[in-house]
Structure 1
Amino acid sequence: MGNKACVDRRGFLKGSVAIGAVTALGALAGCSPQQGGQPEAASAAASSEGVTASVVEGKWAFEIPPEPIAESDIAETVEDDIIVIGAGVSGLVTALAAAEEGASVTLICAGTAPVARGGTFHAFKSRLLDEVGLSDPYGANIGEFFKKEMMASSWNIDQRKWYRFYNHSEETMNWLLDKVEAAGYECVIENFVADESAGVNTSVVGGHSFMGGEIVSTGMGGPLVVEVLVAEGERAGVKYLYSTTAKQLVREDDGAGRVSAVIAENPDGAYVKYAGKKGIVMATGDFSGDREMVAKYCPSVLPFLNDNKDTYDAQFQFGGLMPGDGHKMGLWIGAAWQHSSLCTPMVFTGGPGATASPSTGLLLDARGERFGNEDMTNSFLANALMQLPDQAAYGIWDTGAASFFKWPAAAPYGSGTMTPEDVIAGWETACTQSNPTMVKGETVEEVAELLGLPIDETVKAVARYSELAEAGVDEDFHKRPQLLSPITTGPFYGMKYKGEDMLTIMGGLRTNADMQVCDADDNPIEGLYNVGTMVGDMYSNLYTLLVPGFNLGSTCLTFGYLTGKSLAKA
């Protein structure tokens, strides 16, 4: 087709954004001179005929390369074997693994310190799994297990990466266990939830969780891991440079050759070129902090973005994290986007059960109506909320639910389930804390009023649900009987389940199984690698919690470890 228009923030989202196409745009900004383009014609077409293909296929402002930083503006050149960009888990692991193999490594980071989000690391096998009697829990069934996961992703993922993770996770986890335990911290295997029905909601075994110091619960040990990785890296000779923001990659041969360096702005505002003789590794996180990138590559979570600031130093923050620096730099030098144009959100919603447990009670929409079978896990529920009137659901249950269901303890494997007394105590705390997440009432009417639901409709829905539960048959949505608990014994509890807890967006640049960034013909761009959240074609549709710690264990830990070692030996 002819010249393409480019879209920027000024004309963005005056209407809504639909999956795969912008359904309404405002004024179009002119393209940079080297891009050509006819913005006036495209703008006229958009205003008189609606959105046209030329608009939808046009370049976004973030895709247009800035003017190259001139050599005369570069104050200094630093050369090492490997340059790593980013101080999250993936970047820190890559740097340490490379340094241990004898490579000289400089790690630059835009933030003022390393960051860690979450803390569950998956491994399919490890010496710790052996120690707790869960040796090789997948065994010969790994192919069938992966097939189920890939079906959930519509086979829209790169199988080679998944099997590479499986084949190397034991080696990598044992490497990390040795370091963390030597530092005086403990690793435990997290409780997992076995779905007693068809198995589709089973949260599988393999979540490794680090504990010690102020970290006393599972799933939050990322900061401990980061602390250990940095200390080990310093001993191995890694040079860490913080408040140093990567700006542009340097690709030789007029943009057709090897990526040899990255130009970054140091804390003094000067440009420094960091040249990597063996490679440049980007570990810059996601792009959820850039609204235009989200509009193009993950529009379903646009309603959940916040105007977050200082995201380079953000730890566990919802509503937008990193600004996509690595993605943009890659696109500017000819990297292709992943094969699946849409990326994968990691979304959560609250609830009185464990994160990966099926929702057990009655859920209503804002009209006080039951909207479906509640038997889904946290991340799936968060996605389902996007279909509801105010993108929220409202749970109501009674005191009897504490005894009716088994409530997994948020504790290491073998901890069993909580007692009904402990369950109720947790609900009471959630109702009375300074920022309550649940409500309590002596009647269903009182709970409905506290939740802001229409009282008559809510009472009717609760009565109908209790009738079905007493009969043991869900004639409306056919939920399995063991999840049907009558709502008849006061006091009653309620909670608003919001879908706005979007932590990150998975995916980005086209990446092969060796973590090489590739062009549109799937050819590796020599010298350029990426690890962590930004690895493309690893996930599709929705990042689930059924394999706890999958991303930290795979793209961050295992792929970072393998990439660092292989680059050092190159």
Structure 2
Amino acid sequence: MEVTRRDLLKLTGLAAAGAMGAGALASCAPKTPAESADLAETGAADAGLPEFLAAPEPITDFVDTLEFDIVVVGAGESGLAAVHTALEEGATVACVQNIGTAQSTGNMGASVDTTKTDEAGIQACVAFLMEKNAHRSNRKLIEAWARNSYEAVTWWADTAATRGVESKPFDTDREYNGCPYSLHANTYNHVEGAHNAAALVICDALAEDGAQFFFDSPAVQLYKEGDRVAGVICSTEEGNVLFKAAKGVILASGDCSGNQEMRDYYCPDLRGFKTMSPFRDGMGMMAGIWAGAQMTPVNHSKMVHGGGSLTRLEMPFLNLDIHGKRFMNEVLSFAYLNNLMRPYLEEYSFENPMAAKFFTIMPANWNALGQEWAATYPEEVKFTVGTRKVPTDDQFIRGETFAELAANINAYMAEEEWGIDPIDETTIVESIEAYNELCATGVDSQFGKRADYLAPIEQGPFFAVPRGTNSVPAVLGGLVVDENQQCLSAEGTPIEGLFAVGNASGQFYGGVDYPMDIEGLSVGRAITSGYVTGRYVASL
């Protein structure tokens, strides 16, 4: 029998032709009964698809079987939040984790402060995020975050504070299309371990409340009874253990940024950038695919940032690349700068992520100029992120002259072992001088920067700020879910017993890049999606 395009979608768990392109799907589909048989025998690779999409043989032998109402896969912020609300509703809960501890990354967890925001403001925030996500998001998921996030992140902060890990709140007022709304974020950058310090103590609190945690127990398959997902199979030192779930399995296993094959397939934009969290191996999403769930179509949104507090010093002074030349209009949020870095990464065969770095050149009066700009354009000019301290001159590369600054830039790269060829120092000097001449004209005939920002580099000493985003905290796609975070099949029908939250779930984002416009959105969304889903599944 001929394998149809629909059959291929079922095989791979892909959502639609948009995942690969209609032509690619057509070319992959077998055309004859013999080809269909070959596909069954040889699997996804010979169909032009990566191996991880092919389901392995079901595991049927277990050294032990444990029974719970709910099994949560992953002990990050989304998993811990799901455990909490499930327990609160009276469910018995197991949480299985592939490593030996609860683990979260990041610093800030954002919410809409619904005590200060009316319905119009909620809808304005949702509309803003839809725009930032290229209108590829499931609006219901964003709205669920906006309505429930304040309750969720407040629970997180209060629970951590009772155990000595206190958040510093970061509150901002915004407006979109004339409608104001208020944002509130937990921040932990002042705490050793940042957000993970809170996760660890919250995990301890949940264990005392009755949750059972099973660490070093990676999920390897989902267990099905007919069409229903009825549990999770985990690999342990003793062997495979079946964790049965009477109400449902919640995949809170994070993204696939640590799985190079999945990363290359779902987000090819990330070639050359380094991975921050190798343990985020995409295993939960693969298990979901093998159980019939579908993935968000390619290209998944990418989160690329790193480099500490200096990364967020967003001042539209002169930017010079690793060849000492101006390469951009400097009015661009750092979250999107990585899109300009591919040619530099390619120069180093995509093997040195430091090629994505560059330098912002600033005069001695940078702070005063920045304050003036920020007063007029607060969304474009930023001294730092959240509650972090504003950088000071002693954190920058310094030179009394342009020539000394150029020499010190090369010395810095060598000392930090960037593995980047030394920059011709004459080129650096000439680029700064040419920029000053351009500023004197009042018109950026090179890259079209707003005239307000054409401030020459005249007052010494001069500073160079090493910047650039070259690491990948997350790949923001995941399993397609409905408004209850329930996973959907290729036909768009809910898969009984299977849910996904946080970065294991898709359709919250949609643009090429993760939108940094609401600081802490990723962590806030993860906490909130787990929070509402644990409660929902416990009610079934």
TM-score, normalized by length of structure 2?
0.80
Structural RMSD (CA): 3.5
1:206 alignment partner in structure 2: 183
Pick the aligned partner of 2:363 from 398, 401, 410.
398
Whole-angstrom CA distance in 2 between matches of 1:398 and 1:56: 58
Pick the aligned partner of 2:301 from 341, 344, 348.
344
Structure 1, unmatched stretches of 5+, are 7-18, 22-32, 43-53, 128-134, 307-317, 431-437
CA gap of 1:57–1:162, structure 2 versus 1, over 3 A, is farther
Counterpart code for 1:332: W
Report deviation, 1:477: 2.6
SS for the counterpart of 1:37 is helix
Kindly provide the CA deviation profile for residues 420-479 of structure 1, in whole angstroms up to 9, marking residues without a partner as x.
xxx5xx332x3xxxxxxx532232223334343333433232123223434544343332
CA contact (8 A) 1:439 1:494 kept: yes
Whole-angstrom CA distance in 2 between matches of 1:179 and 1:147: 31
Counterpart code for 1:283: A
2:215 pairs with 1:238:
no
Counterpart code for 2:517: L
Whole-angstrom CA distance in 2 between matches of 1:178 and 1:242: 25
CA gap of 1:376–1:205, structure 2 versus 1, over 3 A, is farther
Pick the aligned partner of 1:216 from 171, 175, 190.
190
CA contact (8 A) 2:231 2:249 kept: yes
2:517 alignment partner in structure 1: 546
Kindly provide the CA deviation profile for residues 85-124 of structure 1, in whole angstroms up to 9, marking residues without a partner as x.
1111111110111011110001111110100101211110
SS for the counterpart of 2:340 is helix
CA gap of 1:189–1:446, structure 2 versus 1, over 3 A, is same
2:116 pairs with 1:158:
no
Report deviation, 1:557: 1.1
Counterpart code for 1:543: Y
CA contact (8 A) 1:96 1:229 kept: no
2:429 alignment partner in structure 1: 459
Counterpart code for 1:170: Y
CA gap of 1:163–1:243, structure 2 versus 1, over 3 A, is same
Whole-angstrom CA distance in 2 between matches of 1:118 and 1:205: 21
Kindly provide the CA deviation profile for residues 32-52 of structure 1, in whole angstroms up to 9, marking residues without a partner as x.
x9984379999xxxxxxxxxx
2:38 alignment partner in structure 1: 37
Report deviation, 1:165: 1.0
CA gap of 1:370–1:411, structure 2 versus 1, over 3 A, is closer
Pick the aligned partner of 1:386 from 321, 342, 345.
342
CA contact (8 A) 1:343 1:507 kept: yes
Pick the aligned partner of 1:563 from 505, 521, 533.
533
2:283 pairs with 1:325:
yes
Whole-angstrom CA distance in 1 between matches of 2:537 and 2:3: 42
Report deviation, 1:58: 2.2
Whole-angstrom CA distance in 2 between matches of 1:193 and 1:463: 40
Pick the aligned partner of 2:462 from 471, 492, 504.
492
SS for the counterpart of 2:94 is strand
Counterpart code for 1:393: F
Whole-angstrom CA distance in 2 between matches of 1:384 and 1:349: 16
1:273 alignment partner in structure 2: 242
Whole-angstrom CA distance in 2 between matches of 1:191 and 1:382: 28
2:222 pairs with 1:289:
no
2:232 alignment partner in structure 1: 262
Report deviation, 1:396: 1.8
SS for the counterpart of 1:280 is strand
Report deviation, 1:483: 3.0
Whole-angstrom CA distance in 2 between matches of 1:440 and 1:275: 61
Whole-angstrom CA distance in 2 between matches of 1:251 and 1:239: 22
Kindly provide the CA deviation profile for residues 65-104 of structure 1, in whole angstroms up to 9, marking residues without a partner as x.
112112xx21111001001111111111101110111100
Whole-angstrom CA distance in 2 between matches of 1:294 and 1:398: 40
* Residue identity (%): 26
2:373 pairs with 1:372:
no
CA gap of 1:371–1:62, structure 2 versus 1, over 3 A, is same
Whole-angstrom CA distance in 2 between matches of 1:68 and 1:538: 31
Pick the aligned partner of 1:447 from 394, 402, 405.
405
Counterpart code for 1:377: S
CA contact (8 A) 1:348 1:502 kept: yes
Whole-angstrom CA distance in 1 between matches of 2:445 and 2:46: 45
SS for the counterpart of 2:264 is helix
Whole-angstrom CA distance in 2 between matches of 1:103 and 1:55: 41
Report deviation, 1:401: 1.3
1:69 alignment partner in structure 2: 59
CA gap of 1:192–1:393, structure 2 versus 1, over 3 A, is farther
Report deviation, 1:61: 0.8
CA contact (8 A) 2:110 2:519 kept: yes
Whole-angstrom CA distance in 2 between matches of 1:279 and 1:171: 24
Report deviation, 1:181: 3.5
2:428 pairs with 1:427:
no
Report deviation, 1:398: 2.3
Report deviation, 1:353: 5.1
Pick the aligned partner of 1:248 from 218, 221, 226.
221
Pick the aligned partner of 1:188 from 157, 161, 168.
168
CA gap of 1:487–1:39, structure 2 versus 1, over 3 A, is farther
Kindly provide the CA deviation profile for residues 207-253 of structure 1, in whole angstroms up to 9, marking residues without a partner as x.
52245xxx6269x6412321342133123210111111111111222
Q: Which has the higher contact order (CA 8 A, sep 6+)?
A: 2
Pick the aligned partner of 1:524 from 494, 498, 501.
494
Report deviation, 1:495: 3.9
2:152 alignment partner in structure 1: 172
Question: Counterparts of 1:509-520 in structure 2 under 5 Å?
Answer: 509-520=479-490
Whole-angstrom CA distance in 1 between matches of 2:142 and 2:68: 31
Counterpart code for 1:277: A
CA contact (8 A) 1:217 1:411 kept: no
Whole-angstrom CA distance in 1 between matches of 2:46 and 2:343: 25
Pick the aligned partner of 2:507 from 521, 537, 553.
537
CA contact (8 A) 1:383 1:499 kept: no
CA contact (8 A) 1:180 1:225 kept: yes
Whole-angstrom CA distance in 1 between matches of 2:47 and 2:136: 22
